Structure 1
Amino acid sequence: MRVEAANASDAEAISALIVELSEPFFLSPSRGGAERFLASISVEAVRGYLSSANFSYYVARSESRLAGFVALRDNSHLFHLFVATAFQGNRLASQLWATAKTDAVQAGNPGEFTVNSSLNAVPVYERFGFVREGEVQRMHGISFQPMRLRSGQNGA
């Protein structure tokens, strides 16, 4: 599957994929207290990220359907990495991450990245070489595990 730079026309599909896969983030089934997170994944917010110079988005499509995407903020923070359920288990997350990481390193990142991982995605990031940094965070209605990848760690 080919990975390419995202564009503004991808905003709706990107937002929809995050919403579809975000259930494990919420501290409450009602999503109470998560209004800030929900606003940050709206179509309007994603359009803003896509047009911002400090975000880099890459998408993978199967025919015309969004199979997954990755986003970096400030060339060092893995902001989003989502793969549609139908495409999970086929190393697409690895392919997306490798593309984003390679481009970031070519743009001057020394190989050091952070991510706030959903709890169910921690094993994926550990396979990429990230290590847990501190305790699980619970705020704004969601939970996440801060993680870091340092230069010289696997980072597949």
Structure 2
Amino acid sequence: MEIRQAEPQDIEQLTALITTVSELDVLPQFNTQGQQEYMNRVIPDIETTFNTKLFDTFVAVELDKVVGFAALRDKNYITHLFVAKEAQGLGLGKTLLDKLLSQTSAKNISLRASINAQYFYQHYGFVATEPESEFMGIRFVPMALTKQT
């Protein structure tokens, strides 16, 4: 498996990966409004992650297929972390998370965890900074990690 910087030519595979994972794991956690709002925001947002001045963005590729995607904005905010169903449970999420964390010297890293990913992040030291929240039907848990120096 190769972990490399995401590139604009990955957009089609990234869209398919995020759509599939979202439909299976994320969208069932939302009401109808949240499902629509999420899809209206997340998929169009993929292209913005190719702005290398703002984002560190990586893909995991196996046999020419994108099976993972991760993005860090402003060196301190994780905006995306998706792993294909067939690659879940094999350590790829941790590999991508480690790759993002290695890109920054920021002491505090934050994110908005989807409900289904909350325990994944807790396992790696993130703590909820607020109770579960909702924005336009999209449920999430604000979380942060304080890196040890």
The reply to whether TM is greater than 0.5 is: yes
Q: Which residue of 1 aligns with 2:141?
A: 145
TM-score by length of 2: 0.88
Q: Which residue of 1 aligns with 2:47?
A: 47
Is 1:80 matched up with 2:80?
yes
Contact 1:40 1:46 in 2 (8 A): no
> How far apart are the structure 2 equivalents of 1:132 and 1:35?
26
| Residue segments in structure 1 that go unaligned for 5+ positions in a row | none
Match runs of 1:57-76 below 5 Å: 57-76=57-76
Contact 2:37 2:138 in 1 (8 A): no
> How far apart are the structure 2 equivalents of 1:128 and 1:2?
22
Q: Which residue of 1 aligns with 2:96?
A: 96
> How far apart are the structure 2 equivalents of 1:93 and 1:33?
25
AA partner of residue 41 (structure 1): V
Residues matched between the structures, number: 146
For residue 96 of structure 2, give the secondary structure of its aligned residue in structure 1.
helix
Contact 1:11 1:50 in 2 (8 A): no
TM-score by length of 1: 0.85
Pick aligned residue for 1:135 from 126, 131, 137 = 131
Identify which range, 18-27 or 68-77, moves more after superposition: 18-27
Contact 2:49 2:71 in 1 (8 A): no
